[in-house]
């Protein structure tokens, strides 16, 4: 199957650059994908096919960050209208609107969907209690630049954030204090927690770095041939994918650090990438206004990709998947 061509599924519908995306966990109904776009309309899709489920209407500015809770029953979004919003992901209705004093760049749920963490251009990280009408119950100050990403970690007892001040910081939710800090030589662009919660993946400059969640000790770092905007580690931690300014998608062997493959698929810089919860595909969002879904193992029958194995002597494997554009109605 090594000679088969990667045929991504293109998900259109957005009218501006797609800047962030997030997958739910596996649910009884499969898994789901949400995208953030500068058009101000986050979209929900079926994760394995890219088919459009719905659009969350209500923001009055570009949406910079999105999140789904584990069960895909709630969605969150952060936007340039100075709000973070919580949505019922089943009905599409707005549940809470969380007012901020500047652009909200990042949102993330805790594992129990009880709290939401946000990061904004106020240089503040906040935690909101979703059981108390979205009341802010924690605030962490210390970053000297706009917050890029903030997530819960270590069984939700800590928050990790990265910002334009070229730092990543660990906040103890019990004491309310910063307990660890990592400094970079460039602005960090993305921050991802591995599926098992043990590894942090951070991109900055042309580097993809991996840190132990418990100690923030750097485990390894790989230099990519472009300025990289986002990276995602496969759930089995054997490979990672990344994308950035040169329009390309890269796949690397996590163990050796060697590049496995690279290919162009977008018509603009890649802003966001993420593996699906089962690791069978990964999604990318780009300046060109589209999301694309890529097979982890090219030629495997999965979702809309169909594979046939002729019984001829060569036993060649032909992918019968054709380029399909998934549109939003």
Residues near 152 by Cβ (< 8 Å), separated by ≥ 6?
Answer: 108, 109, 110, 111, 115, 117, 158, 159, 160
Distance CA 39, CA 220 (A): 36
Q: Going residue by residue through the chain (329 aa), what tens digit of pLDDT does each one get?
A: 456 888 899 999 999 999 999 999 999 999 999 999 999 999 999 999 999 999 999 999 999 999 999 999 999 999 999 999 999 999 999 999 999 999 999 999 999 999 999 999 999 999 999 998 778 899 999 999 999 999 999 999 999 999 999 999 999 999 999 999 999 999 999 999 999 999 999 999 999 999 999 999 999 999 999 999 999 999 999 999 999 999 999 999 999 999 999 999 899 999 999 999 999 999 999 999 999 999 999 888 898 988 765 443 344 334 444 445 555 54
Q: Would you say how long the chain is, in residues?
A: 329
Q: How far apart are CA 282 and CA 297, in angstroms?
A: 10
**CB distance 80 to 62 below 8 Å:** yes
Which pLDDT score, from 0 to 100, does residue 274 have?
Answer: 98
The C-alpha atoms of residue 85 and residue 76 are separated, in whole angstroms, by 6
**Token digits for 96?**
């809470």
Give the pLDDT score at 307: 74
Q: Are 286 and 18 in contact (CB under 8 A)?
A: yes
Spatial contact of 200 and 240, defined as CB atoms under 8 Å apart: no
Q: 3-state SS of the chain?
A: CCCCCCCCEEECCCCCCEEEEEECCCECCECEEEEEECCCCCEEEECCCCCEEEECCCCCCCEEEEEECCCCCEEEEEECCCEEEEEECCCCCEEEEEECCCCEEEEEECCCCCEEEEEECCCEEEEEECCCCCEEEEEEECCCCCEEEEEEECCCCEEEEEECCCEEEEEECCCCEEEEEEECCCCEEEEEECCCCCEEEEEECCEEEEEECCCCCEEEEEECCCCEEEEEECCCCCEEEEEECCCEEEEEECCCCCEEEEEECCCCCEEEEEECCCCCEEEEEECCCCEEEEECCCCCCECCECEECCCCCCCCCEECCCCCEECCC
Residue 28 has a pLDDT of 94
How far apart are the two ends of the chain, measured CA to CA in Å? Answer: 35
Architecture (CATH level 2) of domain 9-318: 7 Propeller (2.130)
- Strand order of the β-sheet with 158-163 is 147-153, 158-163, 167-172, 177-183
**What is the predicted pLDDT for the residue at 132?**
83
In this prediction, residue 308 carries a pLDDT of 61
Q: How far apart are CA 229 and CA 188, in angstroms?
A: 8
240 pairs with which residues across the strands? 233, 252
Cβ distance 95 to 74 under 8 Å? yes
> Quick check: 73 and 89 in contact, CB under 8 A?
yes
pLDDT of residue 265: 84
Which of 246, 238, 241, 239 lies closest to 267, judged by CA?
246
Given a contact cutoff of 8 angstroms between Cβ atoms, the answer to whether 251 and 298 are in contact is no
Return the structure tokens found at 210: 């991996």
């Amino acid at each position: 199957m090594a000679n088969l061509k990667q045929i991504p599924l293109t998900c259109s519908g957005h009218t501006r650059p797609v800047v962030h995306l997030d997958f739910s966990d596996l649910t009884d109904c499969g898994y789901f994908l949400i995208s953030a776009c500068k058009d101000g309309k986050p979209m929900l899709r079926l994760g394995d096919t890219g088919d459009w489920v719905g659009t969350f209407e209500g923001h009055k500015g570009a949406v910079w960050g999105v999140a789904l809770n584990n069960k895909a029953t709630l969605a969150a979004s952060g936007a340039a209208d100075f709000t973070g919003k919580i949505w019922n992901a089943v009905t599409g209705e707005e549940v809470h609107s969380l007012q901020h004093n500047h652009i909200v760049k990042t949102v993330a749920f805790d594992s129990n969907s009880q709290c939401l963490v946000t990061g904004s251009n106020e240089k503040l990280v906040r935690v909101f209690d979703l059981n108390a009408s979205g009341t802010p119950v924690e605030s962490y100050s210390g970053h000297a630049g706009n917050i890029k990403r903030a997530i819960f970690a270590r069984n939700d007892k800590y928050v990790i954030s990265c910002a334009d001040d070229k730092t990543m910081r660990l906040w103890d939710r019990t004491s309310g204090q910063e307990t660890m800090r990592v400094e970079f030589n460039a602005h960090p662009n993305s921050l991802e927690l591995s599926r098992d919660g043990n590894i942090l993946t951070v991109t900055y400059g042309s580097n993809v770095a991996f840190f132990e969640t418990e100690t923030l000790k750097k485990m390894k770092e790989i230099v990519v041939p472009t300025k990289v905007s986002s990276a995602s580690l496969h759930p089995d931690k054997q490979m990672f994918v990344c994308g950035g300014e040169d329009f390309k998608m890269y796949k690397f062997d996590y163990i050796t650090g060697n590049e496995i493959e690279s290919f162009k698929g977008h018509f603009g810089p890649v802003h966001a990438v993420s593996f699906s919860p089962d690791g069978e595909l990964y999604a990318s969002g780009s300046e060109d206004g589209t999301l694309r879904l890529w097979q982890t193992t090219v030629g495997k029958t999965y979702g809309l990709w169909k594979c046939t194995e002729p019984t001829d002597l060569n036993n060649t494997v032909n992918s019968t998947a054709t380029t399909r554009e998934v549109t939003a109605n």
